[in-house]
Amino acid sequence: MHCEEQPVTAASVDIMMHPVRFRIVVATAGQQLTPYQIGAALPDVPQASLYRHLKILHNAGILTVVGERPIRGAIEKVYAVDRSAASFDDKDMVQTSADDHSRYFSLFTAALQSQFRRYLEQKEFDLAADGLGYRIVPLNLDDAEFAQLRADFKAILEPLIARTPSPQRRRRMLSIVVIPEAKVAAETESDIDSEID
């Protein structure tokens, strides 16, 4: 089955940025899953609630039905995320209000915390072998250097994002956050002189 690409709109962003629906999108991104598989990734979400949120995401074009599987005498849908309908571009970012950015970022970090907690709740894990890491790296870049960094990231990531799941590949979530330091007003000489006096 094929669903036409749908552009990101304010309405679709608000639909996706519900705590449960955002977690569904994160769980499904880059792979094709049945509701049962999505539910296994979100064990705290009741089944009836899960199906309701799947329907909302599908109706908004954020999730598409890419296949069907027979299961226990019924047909179960297979969902995938429509990347064009679930991605922000620079224009979307600029048009989003400060309050909405704060709300969206809170959902983003809550989803990260949920994934991290699930990882640590495993009976066994090896942080070094699994490649788990988190760090803050300050970079001093002018606008041209930062634009080049973004282009380099895109060139590296795009072919990796296109790789399909397989038994040999382990799913790893790479989260990128760029936060410029807030601009501080430069002191003038008169300000400094007045402080000395």
Q: What is the pLDDT of residue 129?
A: 92
Q: Are 44 and 92 in contact (CB under 8 A)?
A: no
Residue spans per domain, the chain? 10-126
- Let me know if domain 10-126 sits in CATH 1.10.10.10: yes
Q: Are 22 and 106 in contact (CB under 8 A)?
A: no
Residue of 164, 10, 7 lying closest to 80 (CA atoms): 164
Proportion of the chain above pLDDT 70, given as a percent: 86
Q: Say what the pTM is.
A: 0.70
Q: What is the pLDDT of residue 132?
A: 93
pLDDT tens string 93-103 = 788 889 988 98
Please say whether the dihedral angle defined by the alpha carbons of residues 105, 107, 112 and 116, taken in this order, is positive or negative: positive
- Decide which of 15 and 189 is more confident: 15
13: pLDDT confidence band, cut at 50, 70 and 90?
Answer: confident
